[in-house]
Every structure is written in C-alpha cells, then in structure tokens.
C-alpha cells in the first residue's frame, strides 16, 4: 500500500491555512493509505523555543490533529524527536547534500533574512531533516501546502543522490500532494503574505482554537478592496481571491464554481456567509480540542504508542542504510 508521510511543527497557533492546506487532506487520506503524521519538534528547535511552551505546543498540535479527524487507530501520530533514526538519517543525508542545493531554499532565505552569517546551521539543514523524515519510511506521497513544494523537490534530489552514490534503488522518490482549493491560504490582513503561525497580528489568521465571535470578527475585519462585486479580476485582487478560495476549500468545491455562484455578491454579504461556514466547520474542532487538552495523559499515550510503531519501521530501514553504506553494526 502507498505510504504517506507528513509533518507539522509544534509552534503554536494552528490555523486555517494548516487545516485547509494540510490537515484536512491528511484526514481524507488516512483510511486509504498507510499514513504517518509527525509533530516535528526537531524542526521547531531550529528557532528558539521555550521548554514549557514546546511541550504544550506539542500536545496542542496533537490534540488539533485528532480533533480535526485523525484517528490514531487509522494512522500513526508521533513526535519526531522520540524516534532517534530521524536525526541519524539526517546526518547521513547531510553528507549527500551539496551546499549549492541548500543555498537555493527560499524558506531559509526568508527566515534568515539579512542575518545570514549568524543564522544557525540547524535552520540551514532544516530541509535535509525533512528529507530524512520522509525517506526513513520510504514514503512516496507527501500531502503539504504549496509552501513546501521546493523542500519536496530537494528531498527527491537527495534520495536520487544517495541511490546514485551506491548504485542502488533504495529510496523511492517522494511526490508532493498539493490539493484542495486552498493550498496557500493568505493572511487576512494582507493577501500577498501567507497565513502563518508567527505573524504578529492575530487578526491575520483564524486559529483552530478561536471561538465563534473571534472568527466572525476576524473575517469581518479582513482586508478587502474597494471594487464592487468580489468575483472578478481575481488575478489582481489577492484578498478577494483568498476569501473565495477559503470558502471553496471549506465546502469542497472548485474555486471557479464558488466564484461564479457569488459573482454578484458584495464583500459584506459574502463575509457573513463565510463566517457562518467557518464557524460551522471549526467550532466542533475547537470544542473537541479543548476536551482532549483536558486529558494530557491520553495525548501523551497516543504519541508514545505512535512513536513505538514508527520506530519499528524506521529502525529497519535505517539498518538497511547502514548496511548499504558499510557502517559496521554490532
Ligand atoms: P507548518 O505550520 O509550517 O508546520 O506547516 C504545516 C503544514 O501546513 C504544511 O504542510 C504547510 O504547507 C501547511 N501550511 C502552512 N501554512 C499554510 C498556508 N498559509 N496555506 C496553506 N497551507 C499551509
Ligand atoms: N517543513 C514542514 C513545514 O514547515 C514540516 C515538515 C517536516 C514536513 N518534515 C516533513 C512536511 C516531512 C512533510 C514531510 O510545514
């Protein structure tokens, strides 16, 4: 059966972009495929983390995934640092990754900004760890949002480099699975920036923990333009396009159909319809998340059990890597 792997950082503020770009698709795939979903705490520490917050965020993201519909009986949910093979394979793959490839990564450039010289090696090597995550399980399908496409291409290049170096066909090449009507949800304050966990303004995003009133208020205040009617010239109207694509993803319909259906509607009416829809979808997720978070023992149990199952696959594949490379084992 096709194996699916994807990851999400435990950095707080799970938002609508995470849900529509990734988690919703993960839920849809869990019954059909052999799926592993990883809370990537080793990726999170590429930027400074406060220890208690990291623990809480790991539990919160896990609760969010389960509340959104992932069932630990149908998929493996675990936190990355618990399965040591991720870090070990990442080191090995570092030795097959030319600096030139990493220099092209736009996420590193964005995150390091002008302070490139003082950026940490971990941040630079972030995409190699991501390749290790995927290749460790021989996963071939990787459901992610649009922003991860470049990292996925790099994972393919690294897999090929390893295979070529040893003249083997060991790592299958992973494919990004970027689907749904909202693969890149934009900030509600600026349609040219993506919705992100780290945006300073809480009004830029809808968090999965937001209550109905905050969702309604955030959508009401979302930036718009002054053109009459919302569904025309979308290529030059990022805010209108964003609101329509969020709606389309929530109702699981193509963007074109949603645009056609609302061609005569103004922003105010559309926003109120969108707010009702968002509340209807996210309300039950937030409620379930609160219940789950009241029982951290259950969450910790899910992660421990998931890690044990993941370790089983990971250790066996890493053993093969060591054998291929001639690394002596006991
Ligand atoms: P992160 O929050 O960076 O760990 O991302 C977790 C998953 O959510 C990845 O698959 C991302 O591609 C996806 N994602 C994050 N932000 C967005 C967004 N604004 N729109 C769509 N997908 C997103
Ligand atoms: N880099 C991804 C993000 O920020 C998270 C991630 C880590 C991931 N490892 C992965 C996604 C493996 C897919 C597969 O969104």
> How much distance in Å is there from the Cα of 15 to the middle of ligand 1?
9
pLDDT at 101: 98
> How much distance in Å is there from the Cα of 129 to the middle of ligand 2?
9
Could you give the 3-state DSSP secondary structure of residue 98?
A: coil
Pocket test for ligand 2, best of 5, 6, 7 (most atoms within 8 A of CB): 7
Please tell me what DSSP assigns to residue 141: E
Q: Is 194 a catalytic residue?
A: yes
CB 132 within 8 A of CB 90: yes
In which residue ranges of the chain is pLDDT below 70?
Answer: none
> How much distance in Å is there from the Cα of 6 to the middle of ligand 2?
6
What lies within 8 Å, CB to CB, of 226 at 6+ separation is none
pLDDT at 86: 98
pLDDT tens readout for residues 259-299: 999 988 999 999 999 999 999 999 999 999 999 999 999 99
Rounded Cα gap, residues 197 and 10, in angstroms: 10
pLDDT at 42: 98
Residue with tokens 């590429």: 46
pLDDT tens readout for residues 204-225: 999 999 999 999 999 999 999 9
Nearest CA to ligand 1 atom 17: 17
pLDDT at 1: 84
Rounded Cα gap, residues 138 and 73, in angstroms: 21
Nearest CA to ligand 2 atom 10: 7
Q: What is the pTM (predicted TM-score) of this model?
A: 0.96
Ligand 1 site residues (CB inside 6 A) read 8-9, 17-18, 21-22, 144-145, 147-148, 183-185, 194-195, 197
Q: Which atom of ligand 1 is nearest to the CA of 18?
A: 8
CB 275 within 8 A of CB 220: yes
Catalytic residue among 149, 197, 223, 273: 197
| Smallest-distance ligand from the CA of 193 | 1
Q: Is 223 a catalytic residue?
A: no
Q: Is 111 a catalytic residue?
A: yes
> How much distance in Å is there from the Cα of 21 to the middle of ligand 1?
6
Domains of the chain: 3-182+296-325 (3.40.50.620), 202-291 (1.10.240.10)
């Amino acid at each position: 059966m096709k194996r699916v792997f994807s990851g999400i950082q435990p950095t707080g503020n799970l938002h609508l972009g995470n849900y529509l770009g990734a988690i919703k698709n993960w839920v849809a795939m869990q019954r059909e495929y052999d799926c592993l979903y990883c809370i990537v705490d080793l990726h999170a520490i590429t930027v400074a983390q406060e220890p208690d917050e990291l623990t809480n965020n790991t539990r919160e993201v896990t609760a969010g995934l389960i509340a959104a519909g992932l069932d630990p009986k149908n998929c493996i949910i675990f936190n990355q640092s618990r399965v040591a093979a991720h870090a070990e394979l990442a080191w090995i793959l570092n030795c097959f990754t030319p600096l030139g490839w990493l220099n092209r990564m736009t996420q590193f450039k964005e995150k390091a900004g002008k302070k490139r010289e003082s950026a940490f090696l971990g941040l630079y090597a972030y995409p190699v760890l991501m390749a290790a995550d995927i290749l460790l399980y021989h996963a071939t399908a990787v459901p992610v949002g649009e922003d991860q496409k470049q990292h996925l291409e790099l994972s393919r290049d690294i897999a090929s480099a390893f295979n070529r170096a040893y003249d083997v066909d060991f790592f299958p090449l992973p494919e990004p699975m970027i689907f749904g009507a909202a693969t890149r949800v934009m900030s509600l304050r600026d349609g040219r920036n993506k919705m992100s966990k780290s945006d300073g303004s809480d009004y830029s995003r809808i968090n999965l923990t937001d209550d109905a009133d905050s969702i309604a208020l955030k959508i009401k205040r979302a930036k718009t333009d002054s053109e009459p009617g919302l569904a025309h010239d979308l290529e030059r109207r990022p805010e209108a396009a964003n609101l329509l694509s969020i709606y389309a993803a929530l109702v699981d319909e193509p963007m074109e159909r949603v645009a056609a259906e609302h061609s005569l509607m103004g922003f105010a009416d559309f926003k109120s319809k969108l707010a009702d829809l968002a509340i209807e979808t996210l309300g039950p997720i937030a409620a379930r998340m609160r219940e789950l978070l009241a029982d951290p023992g259950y969450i910790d149990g899910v992660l421990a059990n998931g890690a044990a199952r993941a370790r089983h696959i990971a250790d066996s594949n890493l053993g093969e890597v060591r054998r291929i490379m001639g690394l002596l084992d006991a």
